């Protein structure tokens, strides 16, 4: 496992998130936290949910191991591409035809008038999923060639497209702005696809697709075993990877019953929560997965534990420090990023409290993602899905218990509680012996010291800033 791959992924994610925060900053300033921002976030929620599930491991963790061992790789790849894309096109058309019904399902607390306003945007935004599936499929082929940079850096194109839409329509009425943002989402998806197609050609992978389509009819039957193995693994893998995303989706659904602006507080806070999760945990897991799979396949358990150990303590140091800083400087971070224009100080206070509740679950979600690689690498996708389902059930239970007394912060706290459940259940399945072997490391004191120093520096900065202001 090469740390260069982790840093490549992290750099790409960081660039995308920088543009993402610029986008959110402009959105908060131009739209604020109100009915129109809630409408757009609801419309973007469904395709964004599936984007995260697809792009952050589920598809690749099922497709790539099967593709590597497949006897007829080209046929297998083209069959999977054709089936998924056809299903998504049909699904997109159904969302277009029944957009109001779909909107009521994902924002059940919306009034009829608000549903009518949001439904066309839900239909437009959903087509982004068609683009992102093609991007994810092509990125899996690029990972086969151990090329990560294109996928890591291309995600910035979505945010750049949305930023452009905001700047062009900043003086337009709010309803026009949310339509511009929605079409900006589609343009961003198209740009990502074009970039991946260019890199596929540069890496000489076009022959895989061309060969697959050429011999598809003649040799389809020979690839059925590989297709069946992928199909058996994909759904559990998707469920196993989707806990944090489904929890966020449930938050939005329930928040539609709360006061106007609650959905926006959850969105902005979750964006801040997702930054270190993606920057560190997702980047590390993406780079580590091929290595862990190969090592466990040849039963090199000690080498697999050693590779995991290094990444584990790196994650603990980075996620633990991020948690300490985010909790201590929650209001300052939100104010610095968003408090301007239509985004008021009251919005800052509400968003900061929600962010703290999300951050409580940052470390368990990140570490669980790392250890779940052992389950996927040993073909235990079904077990991972069962654990994810139990975690999600806990999230739903605590969301219902906490929404009345705590409102939006309660929904975020429920998500974090489910993250801790996911963490403990994953460790139990992987094995406590493996976990404690990984815990015993010379890196442990340095990681804990790094967290302590980060927390003290954040506290000192808070005292200095408020002392002088």
Task: Count CB neighbours of 116 within 10 A.
Answer: 13
Q: How confident is the model at residue 217, as a pLDDT?
A: 65
3-state SS record for 172-228:
CCHHHHHHHHHHHHHHHHHHHHHHHHHHHHHCCCHHHHHHHHHCHHHHHHHHHHHHH
Q: Is 57 left (phi over 0), alpha (psi -120 to 50) or beta?
A: left
Residues ≥6 apart with Cβ < 8 Å to 41: 252, 263, 264, 267
Q: How confident is the model at residue 402, as a pLDDT?
A: 94
Q: How confident is the model at residue 1, as a pLDDT?
A: 47
Question: Three-state SS for 437?
Answer: helix
Q: How confident is the model at residue 337, as a pLDDT?
A: 83
Q: Is the CA virtual torsion 214, 219, 224, 225 positive or negative?
A: negative
Mean pLDDT by 10 residues, the chain (469 residues): 68 82 82 77 77 65 75 81 89 91 80 85 90 89 81 88 92 87 93 93 82 68 74 72 69 79 86 86 76 75 82 90 95 87 86 95 91 80 85 92 92 93 91 82 87 94 75
Instruction: Return d(Cα 391, Cα 163) in angstroms, integer.
Output: 35
Question: Three-state SS for 391?
Answer: helix
Cα separations in angstroms, 206 against 74, 142, 180, 196: 10, 11, 34, 11
Task: Count CB neighbours of 416 within 10 A.
Answer: 24
Cα separations in angstroms, 103 against 110, 124, 266, 444: 9, 12, 18, 48
């Amino acid at each position: 496992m090469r740390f260069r791959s982790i840093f490549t992924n992290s750099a790409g994610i960081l660039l995308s998130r920088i543009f993402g925060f610029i986008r959110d900053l402009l959105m908060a300033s131009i739209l604020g936290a109100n009915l129109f921002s809630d409408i757009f976030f609801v419309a973007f929620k469904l395709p964004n949910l599936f984007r995260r599930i697809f792009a952050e491991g589920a598809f690749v963790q099922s497709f790539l191991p099967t593709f590597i061992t497949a006897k007829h790789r080209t046929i297998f790849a083209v069959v999977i591409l054709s089936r998924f894309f056809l299903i998504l096109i049909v699904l997109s058309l159904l969302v277009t035809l029944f957009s109001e019904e779909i909107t009521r399902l994902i924002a059940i607390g919306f009034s009829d008038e608000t549903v009518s306003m949001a439904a066309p945007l839900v239909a437009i935004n959903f087509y982004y999923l068609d683009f992102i599936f093609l991007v994810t499929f092509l990125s899996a082929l690029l990972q086969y060639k151990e090329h990560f940079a294109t996928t890591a850096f291309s995600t910035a194109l979505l945010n750049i497209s949305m930023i452009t839409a905001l700047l062009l329509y900043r003086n337009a009425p709010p309803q026009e702005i949310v339509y511009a943002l929605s079409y900006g989402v589609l343009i961003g998806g198209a740009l990502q696809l074009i970039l991946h197609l260019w890199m596929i050609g540069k890496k000489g992978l076009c022959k895989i697709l061309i060969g697959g389509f050429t011999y598809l009819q003649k040799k389809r039957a020979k690839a059925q075993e590989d297709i069946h193995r992928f199909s058996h693994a994909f759904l559990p893998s998707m469920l196993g990877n989707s806990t944090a995303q489904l929890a966020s989706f449930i938050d939005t659904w329930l928040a539609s019953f709360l006061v106007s602006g609650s959905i926006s507080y959850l969105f902005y806070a979750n964006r801040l929560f997702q930054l270190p999760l993606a920057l560190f945990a997702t980047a590390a897991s993406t780079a580590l997965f091929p290595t862990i799979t190969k090592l466990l396949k040849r039963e090199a358990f000690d080498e697999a534990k050693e590779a995991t150990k290094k990444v584990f303590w790196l994650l603990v140091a980075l996620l633990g420090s991020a948690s300490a800083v985010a909790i201590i400087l929650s209001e300052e971070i939100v104010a610095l990023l968003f408090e301007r224009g239509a985004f008021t100080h009251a919005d800052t206070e509400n968003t900061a409290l929600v962010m703290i509740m999300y951050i409580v679950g940052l470390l368990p979600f990140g570490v669980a993602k790392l250890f779940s690689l052992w389950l996927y690498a040993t073909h235990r996708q079904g077990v991972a899905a069962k654990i994810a389902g139990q975690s999600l059930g806990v999230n739903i239970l605590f969301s219902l218990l906490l929404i009345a007394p705590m409102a939006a912060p309660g929904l975020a706290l429920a998500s974090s509680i489910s993250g801790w459940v996911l963490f403990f259940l994953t460790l139990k399945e992987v094995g406590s012996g493996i976990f404690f072997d990984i815990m015993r490391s010379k890196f442990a004191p340095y990681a804990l010291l790094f967290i302590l120093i980060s927390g003290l520096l954040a506290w000192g900065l808070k005292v200095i800033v408020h002392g002088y202001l």
